[in-house]
Amino acid sequence: MLIKQLSIFLENKSGRLNEVSQILGSNGINMSAFSVADTSEFGILRLIVSDPERACKVLRDNQFSVSLTDVVCLNCPNEPGALAKALQILSDNKISIEYLYAYSMGDSANVVLKPDQLELCIKVLQEHKMELVKASELYKI
Amino acid sequence: MIWNEKIECASREEMEVIQSERLCETVKRIYHNVPAYRKKMQEVGLTAYDIHGISDLHKLPFTIKTDLRDNYPYGLFTVPMSEIVRLHASSGTTGKPIVVGYTRKDIQMWAEVVSRSLTMAGVHRDDIVQIAYGYGLFTGGLGLHYGTENMGASVIPISGGNTHKQIQLMEDFGSSVLCCTPSYALNIAEVMKEMNVDIKNLKLRVGIFGAEPWSEAMRKDIEAKLGIKAIDIYGLSEIVGPGVSCECEHQCGMHINEDHFLPEIINPETLEPMAPGEVGELVFTTITKEGIPLIRYRTRDLTRLIYDKCVCGRTLVRMEKCKGRSDDMLIIRGVNVFPSQVESVLLSMSEVEPHYLIIVDREGTLDKMSLLVEVQEQFFSDEIKKLEDLRVKIARNLDSVLGISVNVKLVEPKTIERTAGKAKRVIDNRKI
């Protein structure tokens, strides 16, 4: 249930994002999801890729500061109120969300989230019959 | 007007007699009271009785900043603490500051040399003097304060900052003299313009500017914008503070109070004296201080000495505006900053490695120091919050050691040049 997400430090310089995608592309690594968190000084690029360990290595070889973070991915129906239901469950169980990013694909949506308490989050979501995406499946998307 | 005509217009012979006598007294004082100095002298085969006058000065060993650091805090004082009435401190090359101590007599001497400086700049007892140098451990504020009071002029001890208030008081109190750093003077001028203050309505006549290097071009700029005569004053805490030397109204070099501070110019590489009139490193020996006298202290400032009598009538030797330094010290908003201080802060923090670059800019009139630090793998965090906290922590640690605020910027690894030799740690974009 734990997804290995890449986090990459990027200075606010033009071309950095491009360079990351070039490196991954030329190494045959596919990106399933991504999000950029930015401040005025720098950004953190968060990626779900087809081969996180290898991606980490090739990026580090190219002088990027990379870390792997454990996140979870919730799959919920692509309809109004679906996300709200999941977030309510977390809130009731006093689980905070550091960040999340999501995308819809047809009937369902994938929500990648970083909770402050990973194990508890997984436990609670499973207890409520929420579907958690397996890492191997997510990397393939 | 001359504050102390007998000294300031003494003949070279009279001055040399005074200096020789005082040098011998000082050498005896430090030899008998400071183990560190006695050791230094004995190492070169000298005792106090081998020095008979200023012609023996070159035999004495030099003193450098690390001597003060190695004897921190009071190791170089020649008197017990019960006789020290004031302590001041300034930047050292690492985390520890340089500490100086003053006896009552030292404080009186300091006031005397500042009074001489103010007088030669054209200040008189009816002036209202706004002292916008920082008050505190820094010698600027209190140095000008005591010298101004000593000559009977009126002190406004406003210290630095709060520019709107500075200008308001200038208008309301009728300040006729302004004392601050030259870059702050330009800042005041800028804010005056924003406030639509007409300098013709102010009583400002003279400015006494120092604590950082400034060019003739900057002088003309300040004089035009504030409608004043801008005078250069020089000093360093180790020697006494401001008042070591100062320009007279003719602005043709700063008269050194050489009956208290004996100057030399040396070659910073060979340490040999330079020929008269040549540019080299300025060295001072304090010959009247009791608290912490220093023998042949290397200032690292580069300049030359002019021994001709000045148009003003004074015979006190003049030094030209400093042309640079023989070390890597920076002066930012009047504060001394050493790259090695930055390094010591970074080394004390496990989250960063000391791969850094200092960039100094002057935005408008004020200096700004930015520090680029590489984000290290093991401490790179997935959370913005943690990186922000790291940035703030670095800035806070730097502020506490350097005394100025620094804009810390995290950069990608390996973006700061690695060199085989001495790394280039500073990019100074200021055109002074």
| Collapsed DSSP state (helix, strand, coil) of residue B262 | strand
Residue with tokens 């203050």: B197
Same domain, residue pair B296 and B354: no
The dihedral through the CA atoms of B390, B396, B400, B405 has a sign that is positive
Which residues in B lie closer than 8 A to residue A67 (C-beta atoms)?
A: 377, 380-382
Q: Are B62 and B271 in contact (CB under 8 A)?
A: yes
ipTM of the complex: 0.80
Quote the pLDDT of residue B415: 81
For residue B314, the surrounding DSSP H or E stretch is none
Rounded distance between C-alpha atoms, residue B293 and residue A34, angstroms: 66
CATH code for the structural domain at A70-140: 3.30.2130.10
Residue type, A95: I
Same domain, residue pair B358 and B298: no
The dihedral through the CA atoms of B18, B20, B24, B30 has a sign that is positive
Same domain, residue pair B269 and B341: no
Residues of chain B short of pLDDT 50, as ranges, are none
Q: How many other C-beta atoms lie within 10 A of the C-beta of residue A108?
A: 15
Which residues in A lie closer than 8 A to residue B388 (C-beta atoms)?
A: 39
Total structural domains within chain B: 2
Same domain, residue pair B183 and B292: yes
CB–CB of A63 and B387 under 8 A?
A: no
Assigned token pair, B115: 């009074």
Residue with tokens 């469950």: A89
Residue with tokens 């009047």: B334
Quote the pLDDT of residue B421: 64
For residue B381, the chain A residue with the least C-alpha distance is A67
Quote the pLDDT of residue A115: 94
Same domain, residue pair B297 and B336: no
Q: How many CA atoms lie within 13 A of B415 on its CB side?
A: 18
CA distances from B199 to A4, B67, B74 (A): 66, 47, 47
For Cα atoms B35, B38, B39, give the angle at the middle one, nearest 5 degrees: 85
Rounded distance between C-alpha atoms, residue A133 and residue A111, angstroms: 9
Least CB-CB distance to B412: which of A7, A65, A98?
A65
- Which fold, A3-67? VC0802-like (3.30.2130)
Assigned token pair, B277: 């009139």
What percent of chain B stands above pLDDT 70?
99
Report chain A residues touching chain B, CB-CB < 8 A.
Answer: 5, 7, 9-11, 16, 37, 39, 41-42, 44, 46, 60, 63-67, 69, 98, 114
| Mean pLDDT (whole number) for A104-111 | 92
Same domain, residue pair B32 and B136: yes
Q: Domain ends where: B327, B344, B370? A: B327
Rounded distance between C-alpha atoms, residue B270 and residue B278, angstroms: 15
CB–CB of B412 and A41 under 8 A?
A: no
Which residues of chain A are in CATH 3.30.2130.10 domains?
3-67, 70-140
CB–CB of A65 and B375 under 8 A?
A: yes
Quote the pLDDT of residue A41: 82
Band (A30; pLDDT cuts 50, 70, 90): very high
Same domain, residue pair B92 and B205: yes
Q: Are B291 and B102 in contact (CB under 8 A)?
A: yes
Which residues in A lie closer than 8 A to residue B375 (C-beta atoms)?
A: 9, 65
Same domain, residue pair B372 and B274: no
Same domain, residue pair B68 and B109: yes
Same domain, residue pair B294 and B176: yes
Quote the pLDDT of residue B350: 83
CB–CB of B382 and A44 under 8 A?
A: yes
For residue A45, the chain B residue with the least C-alpha distance is B382
Rounded distance between C-alpha atoms, residue B114 and residue A55, angstroms: 67
pTM, two decimal places: 0.83
Tell me what the pLDDT averaged over chain A comes to.
Answer: 91
With 0-12 CB in 10 A as exposed, 13-18 as middle and 19+ as buried, what is B243? buried
Same domain, residue pair B137 and B69: yes
To test the contact with chain A by mutation, choose from B381, B382, B407 the residue with the greatest count of A C-beta atoms within 10 A, namely: B382
Residue with tokens 């640079």: B324
Assigned token pair, A13: 């310089």
The dihedral through the CA atoms of B199, B200, B202, B206 has a sign that is positive
| Collapsed DSSP state (helix, strand, coil) of residue B366 | strand
CB pairs under 8 A between A and B: 50
Q: Domain ends where: B327, B354, B380? A: B327
Q: State how far residue A114 is from chain B, nearest Cα, in angstroms.
A: 10
To test the contact with chain B by mutation, choose from A2, A3, A9, A112 the residue with the greatest count of B C-beta atoms within 10 A, namely: A9
Domain with B240, as residue range(s), is: 1-327
Rounded distance between C-alpha atoms, residue A109 and residue A92, angstroms: 22
Quote the pLDDT of residue B165: 97
Q: Domain ends where: B312, B327, B342? A: B327
Quote the pLDDT of residue A92: 95
- Maximal CA-CA distance, chain B: 73
Least CB-CB distance to A39: which of B388, B412, B415?
B388
With 0-12 CB in 10 A as exposed, 13-18 as middle and 19+ as buried, what is B138? buried
Same domain, residue pair B60 and B143: yes
CB–CB of B410 and A64 under 8 A?
A: no
CA distances from A57 to A6, B22, B51, B345, B383 (A): 11, 70, 69, 31, 21
CATH number of the domain where residue B190 is located: 3.40.50.12780
Quote the pLDDT of residue A13: 80
